[in-house]
């Protein structure tokens, strides 16, 4: 059964140094507030997992939280590169970053395998790419029925998955709608999970395209209005495109980045 906690309590209880942590969300419902709390609590040596690491992972990497990144595409969407990510990979600042790169389909199927209790996933993918030469967790496998050569990738089972959603009820059932990506699969694949929400309500009103995570599948729920900014929460907020554009300049320079993070993230709780 999910426990209703504060965001600080949820991160303190569920995220440990050295954990494999997935913060999922595809353009929509990206858990920025939770990522910032991880930074404030100075978690270290994390293996970060995400299909599309964008600005929040740039911030986590730049603040020294990560030792490894498992991903399928990384960038500042609609703008360009993640400069803190590149600095860590290319120059080891603030710490060296290992990478494990997959395709979108490969990552999605890895979450599905993890959620299904299977050791690996099989797909028609990676053919004609050089990813298998660079990623040791991509292997050929022969179908025992047809002889077709397919691709196997190991299941993803994060120690903790963190997602943002629109609503939860007081029993800890979580409701999200709109573009939901692989949040459901990532939560079900994880040992522990934290969901931040825009609001906590007495009952969940059905919504078109909704996904409901039952309370038994969630470890903790934390109220965090605006917790997906600068991404958006359908029905609650719009995407802050100006922020994504501004981030390109902020993140290019180490000192500018560090100053911005200190002012807007590390000191945020003190100023609240």
pLDDT tier, 268 (very low <50, low <70, confident <90, very high otherwise):
confident
- Asked if pLDDT for residue 128 goes beyond 90, the answer is no
CA 201 to chain centre: 25
What is the DSSP-derived secondary structure letter of residue 64?
A: T
Q: Which residues pair with 196 in a beta bridge?
A: 164, 222
- Residue 173, both tokens: 């059932």
- How many angstroms separate the CA atoms of 139 and 156, rounded? 15
Q: Give the strand pairing for 66-71 and 46-50.
A: parallel
Per-residue pLDDT tens digits for 85-112: 999 999 999 999 999 999 999 999 999 9
Which of 220, 218, 217, 239 shows the shortest CA–CA distance to 228?
A: 239
Query: 84 and 252 in contact (C-beta within 8 Å)?
Result: no
**12 phi and psi, to 5 degrees?**
-60, -40
Mean pLDDT, rounded, for 191-198:
98
Q: Which residues pair with 222 in a beta bridge?
A: 5, 196
Query: 196 and 227 in contact (C-beta within 8 Å)?
Result: yes
Could you give the strand order of the β-sheet that contains 149-154, starting from the edge strand earlier in sequence?
A: 120-123, 149-154, 139-142
The predicted pLDDT at position 269 comes to: 66
**Whole-Å CA distances, 22 to 59, 66, 137:** 15, 12, 18
Q: Which residues pair with 176 in a beta bridge?
A: 211
**189 phi and psi, to 5 degrees?**
-80, -15
Average pLDDT, the chain: 97
Does residue 138 have a cis peptide bond before it, meaning omega lies within 30 degrees of 0?
Answer: no
The predicted pLDDT at position 271 comes to: 43
3-state helix, strand, coil in the chain (%, to 5): 35, 25, 40
- Asked if pLDDT for residue 272 goes beyond 70, the answer is no
Q: 137-146, 171-180, 260-269: which range is least confident on average?
A: 260-269
Query: 194 and 222 in contact (C-beta within 8 Å)?
Result: yes
- Asked if pLDDT for residue 270 goes beyond 60, the answer is no
Q: Give the strand pairing for 160-169 and 174-176.
A: antiparallel
The single residue listed with the structure tokens 């910032």 is: 36
């Amino acid at each position: 059964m999910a426990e209703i906690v504060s965001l600080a309590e949820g991160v303190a209880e569920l995220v440990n140094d050295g954990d494999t942590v997935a913060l999922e969300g595809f353009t929509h419902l990206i858990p920025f507030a939770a990522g910032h709390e991880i930074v404030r609590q100075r978690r270290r040596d994390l293996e970060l997992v995400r299909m599309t690491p964008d600005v929040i992972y740039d911030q986590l990497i730049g603040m020294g939280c990560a030792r490894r990144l498992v991903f399928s595409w990384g960038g500042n969407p609609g703008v360009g590169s993640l400069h803190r990510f590149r600095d860590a990979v290319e120059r080891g600042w603030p710490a060296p970053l290992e990478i494990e790169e997959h395709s979108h389909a490969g990552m999605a199927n890895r979450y599905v395998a993890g959620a299904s209790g299977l050791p690996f996933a099989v797909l028609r993918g990676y053919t004609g790419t050089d990813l298998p030469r660079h990623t040791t967790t991509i292997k050929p496998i022969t179908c025992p029925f047809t002889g077709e050569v397919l691709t196997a990738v190991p299941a993803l089972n994060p120690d903790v998955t963190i997602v943002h959603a629109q609503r939860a009820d007081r029993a800890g059932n979580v409701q999200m709608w709109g573009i939901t990506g692989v949040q459901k699969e990532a939560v079900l694949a994880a040992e522990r999970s934290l969901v931040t929400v825009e609001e906590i309500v007495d009952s969940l009103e059905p919504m078109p395209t909704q996904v409901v995570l039952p309370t038994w599948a969630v470890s903790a729920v934390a109220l965090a209005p605006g917790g997906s900014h600068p991404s958006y929460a359908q029905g609650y907020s719009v995407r802050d495109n100006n922020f994504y554009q501004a981030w390109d300049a902020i993140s290019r320079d180490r000192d500018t980045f560090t100053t911005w993070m200190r002012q807007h993230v590390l000191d945020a709780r003190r100023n609240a």
